[in-house]
Amino acid sequence: VRVLLTSDRVKRQLVAVASGKGGVGKSTVAANLAIALARAGRKVGLIDADIYGPSQPKLMNVEGSKPQARQKTLIPVPTPYGVPLLSMGQLVAADQAIAWRGPMAAGALAQLAEADWGACDTLVIDLPPGTGDVQLTMIQKYRPTGAVIVSTPQDLSLIDARRAIDLFAKAGVPVIGIVENMAGYACPHCGEISDPFGSGGAEAAARELGLPFLGRIPLDIAIRTASDAGEPPAAGTGPHGAAFTGIATRVAA
Ligand code: ADP
């Protein structure tokens, strides 16, 4: 399924990154997936539609930069990772955005989705957690090519993830697969692996639901510190970069 998004007649793949609840690493996965797809040769743009916590400007190292507009059409902000970005956080202060009503959030999403994405052939969309207005507008108005669901391994996160999967499935948007994040913790001191949230839960859920399992990212302090520094692991050469490359390969297949 391909969509015609803007008048410049570029056919774009829209990859929605979703989760049942917040804090599971959806934004982290979206940023790194976008970078990994770009490194694989795609022309990728990133839409940060997470009104509750627009974190992409920080993750992509362009905090504080505001997009220009040409005849009311926004021009995405270039990032150091070759992935232009537009974020809800660039339209309004983050603490304001969470008070937006449905129509305002839908209007803001339209500004981001109908921006001047130029030659981008793939847009990765970081959706808010859950199953609210932004998700519905995204599904109904822009028809994503597919959805990537991010979950942590524990049951509660997976129960919520199933709701998100259900939303896309009922709307006829293919679920590309499930990513398990924060799976297994490597102690930075002794290297011992422990499983604070268990692991394998998302893979088992994917199997049960007949969905592809896209890969697993461990809980690692290095991921958080790199993310906070605006240096997503997918842009580097470390082991987590390879994990995100694997996920991107499966998403692009
Ligand atoms: P969400 O978008 O689901 O709310 P975020 O991507 O913002 O979640 O991640 C929440 C927090 O967890 C951030 O501080 C992020 O750096 C951290 N984080 C995400 N994934 C990992 C991981 N695999 N290991 C360590 N920290 C992580």
**Domains of the chain, each with CATH number or no CATH:** 3-252 (3.40.50.300)
Query: CB under 6 Å to ligand 1: residues?
Result: 19, 22-28, 53, 55, 181-182, 217, 219-220, 223-224, 227
132 close to 139: Cβ distance less than 8 angstroms: no
Q: What is the pLDDT of residue 97?
A: 67
Token couple for 110: 């339209």
Q: Which of 32-36, 69-73, 185-189, 243-247 has the lowest mean pLDDT?
A: 185-189
- Arithmetic mean of pLDDT, 59-74: 94
Instruction: For residues 205 and 156, give the distance between their C-alpha atoms in angstroms, rounded to a whole number.
Output: 12
- Whole-prediction pTM value? 0.93
Tell me the C-alpha distance between 235 and 46, whole Å: 15
Task: Give me 186's structure tokens.
Answer: 């490597």
Instruction: Determine the distance separating the centroid of ligand 1 and the alpha carbon of 160, expressed in angstroms.
Output: 17
Query: Residues 13-27: pLDDT tens digits?
Result: 999 999 999 999 999
The annotation status of 118 as a binding-site residue, yes or no, is no
- pLDDT at 196 exceeding the cut of 60: yes
For residues 36-53, average pLDDT: 95
Q: Does 27 count as an annotated binding residue? A: yes
Q: Is the Cβ–Cβ distance between 29 and 251 less than 8 Å?
A: no
26 assigned ligand-binding residue: yes
- What is the distance between the alpha carbons of residues 167 and 200, in angstroms, rounded to a whole number? 23
What percentage of residues in the chain have a pLDDT greater than 70?
94
- Answer for the pair 117, 123: CB distance below 8 angstroms, yes or no: yes
Question: For the complex shown, is ipTM > 0.95?
Answer: yes
The response to whether 25 counts as a known ligand-binding position is yes
Percentage of the residues of the chain whose pLDDT score is greater than 90? 70
Query: Which of 26, 28, 88, 154, when mutated, tests ligand 1's pocket best, judged by the most ligand atoms within 8 Å of its CB?
Result: 28
The answer to whether 167 and 135 have CB atoms below 8 angstroms apart is yes
Cβ(122)–Cβ(13) under 8 Å?
yes
Distance 41 CA to ligand 1 centre (A): 26
| Among the listed residues 7, 27, 9, the one whose alpha carbon sits nearest the alpha carbon of residue 17 | 27
